[in-house]
Amino acid sequence: MATTICFFIGVLFITDTVWTQSVRQGYEVNDPDYWAMHDFDCPRECFCPPSFPTALYCENRGLKEIPAIPSRIWYLYLENNLIETIPEKPFENATQLRWINLNKNKITNYGIEKGALSQLKKLLFLFLEDNELEEVPSPLPRSLEQLQLARNKVSRIPQGTFSNLENLTLLDLQHNKLLDNAFQRDTFKGLKNLMQLNMAKNALRNMPPRLPANTMQLFLDNNSIEGIPENYFNVIPKVAFLRLNHNKLSDAGLPSNGFDVSSILDLQLSHNQLTKVPRISAHLQHLHLDHNRIRSVNVSVICPNPTTLPEERDSFSYGPHLRYLRLDGNEIKPPIPMDLMNCFKLLQAVII
């Protein structure tokens, strides 16, 4: 099970790298008529690289409007301009678009014409970071796989926004103005394949409700979350990376079984208000508890129950998997209890 999870996480981690590299790769076309045609349809405000005819580079040009996009374009770069609107007309012929980067502009929700984005039936990646959005834009194309909305002013998620986005795997809403009342029980309904959800640096006091079942990475750092409901993780049985650094979690706010969740491999609880080390699963590999209020480590409480396996198997292979433990910034004083090392035989680093 852990091997399977690690494999999928690895795939998710390299997704951005692979795509980012692939869109920069060029290839040669030697037909002069081919280049004459594409020189003719290249917007004068932009650059059309001869070695990459499916890309259009219009970034850092001081543009206030989106130029007409040629039909051959797959990858469109419009970041760091002064664009305020996304009308339908520039995209009339852009039926092949897979990637749009509109980061660092001045786009508002009122400036997005209804249908301008949803008409792009092959769009996979949409970057709208560092704009002036106050709600998640809608409607969006069903084909979309990644939606990046970091560092806007998003405080609202209209009902049904995600209902048709079953292909979305990554949703980045970090550094916005989301409050608890932004979510309904069905807000995330439709996100059947979502794997990474980032809502760090908002103003949440509670865990977001009813997350998609396939969520594997959940980032909620830098909010004001005080507690986690009992059985919260039952609805996200595949979560492997959980970040809750810089919140207001206390011992009383944790579920009775703590974080004894077999899917979690990396747990980050730094800069909270914990006074005890919470219960963890034998499958956990990395645990960050620095800068809390912990005074001692009760190994008899936190040591996970050993996995039941055939007698001939050794404890190093089938005991607790914890390899990294961070406890600095608490009230714990060395030395490290020997019971801790006896329990977690795979520990490679303990920071106190």
Sign, Cα dihedral of 165, 171, 176, 177: positive
> If we measure between CA atoms, which residue out of 118, 156, 149 comes closest to residue 135?
156
Interatomic CA distance for residues 210 and 208, integer angstroms:
7
Please name the helix (run of DSSP H) or strand (run of DSSP E) that holds residue 34, with its range, or none: helix 32-41
Confidence of residue 176 (pLDDT cuts 50, 70, 90): very high
Interatomic CA distance for residues 146 and 127, integer angstroms:
8
Q: Which residues contact 107 (CB under 8 A, 6 or more apart)?
A: 83, 84, 85, 86, 128, 131, 132, 133
Q: Which pair of tokens denotes residue 75?
A: 């990858």
> If we measure between CA atoms, which residue out of 51, 4, 50 comes closest to residue 25?
51
- Whether residue 163 is contained in a domain is answered as no
- Whether residue 203 is contained in a domain is answered as no
Please compute the mean of the pLDDT values over residues 32-53 and round it to a whole number. Answer: 74
List Cα–Cα distances, 239 to 4, 106, 242, 319, in angstroms. 12, 35, 7, 21
pLDDT > 60? residue 29: no
**pLDDT of the residue at 16:** 45
Q: Which pair of tokens denotes residue 91?
A: 């995209």
Q: Locate tokens 């020997």: which residue?
A: 338
Confidence of residue 318 (pLDDT cuts 50, 70, 90): low
User: Residue 201 carries which side chain, given as an amino acid letter?
Assistant: K
pLDDT > 50? residue 17: no
Q: What is the widest separation between alpha-carbon atoms in the chain?
A: 76
Which 8-state DSSP code applies to residue 112?
B
Please compute, for residue 149, the number of CA atoms within 13 A of its CA located in the half-sphere on the CB side: 28
Interatomic CA distance for residues 240 and 207, integer angstroms:
17
In the chain, the number of structural domains is 1
List Cα–Cα distances, 205 to 48, 139, 180, 224, 275, in angstroms. 47, 28, 7, 5, 20
Q: Locate tokens 């970071």: which residue?
A: 129
pLDDT > 70? residue 159: yes
For the chain, strand residue ranges (E) read 55-57, 75-77, 99-101, 125-127, 146-148, 170-172, 196-198, 217-219, 241-243, 266-268, 286-288, 324-326, 349-351
Sign, Cα dihedral of 110, 111, 115, 120: negative
**pLDDT of the residue at 304:** 87
**pLDDT of the residue at 245:** 98
Q: Whole-model pTM?
A: 0.87
- Whether residue 327 is contained in a domain is answered as no
Question: Which residues make beta-bridge pairs with 56?
Answer: 76
**pLDDT of the residue at 21:** 39
Name, of 196-205, 291-300, 312-321, the range with top average pLDDT. 196-205
Flag the least confident range among 122-126, 249-253, 339-343.
339-343
Q: Which residue has the higher pLDDT, 102 or 7?
A: 102
The domain that holds 84 is classified in CATH as 3.80.10.10
Flag the least confident range among 103-117, 180-194, 240-254, 313-327.
313-327
For 123-271, strand residue ranges (E) read 125-127, 146-148, 170-172, 196-198, 217-219, 241-243, 266-268
Q: Which pair of tokens denotes residue 228?
A: 């986690």
User: What phi and psi, each to the nearest 5 degrees, are found at residue 40?
Assistant: -70, -40
- Whether residue 104 is contained in a domain is answered as yes
Q: Which pair of tokens denotes residue 104?
A: 């660092």
| H-assigned helices in 131-186 | none
User: Residue 303 carries which side chain, given as an amino acid letter?
Assistant: C
Could you tell me the residue range of the domain that residue 86 belongs to?
52-132
Measured in residues, the chain has a length of 352
- Whether residue 249 is contained in a domain is answered as no
> If we measure between CA atoms, which residue out of 172, 229, 237 comes closest to residue 202?
172
CB 300 within 8 A of CB 340: no
- Whether residue 37 is contained in a domain is answered as no
pLDDT in tens, 83-138: 999 999 999 999 999 999 999 999 999 999 999 999 999 999 999 999 999 999 99
- Whether residue 337 is contained in a domain is answered as no
- Whether residue 66 is contained in a domain is answered as yes
Question: Which residues make beta-bridge pairs with 127?
Answer: 101, 148
Whole-number average pLDDT of the chain: 88
Q: Which residue has the higher pLDDT, 10 or 240?
A: 240
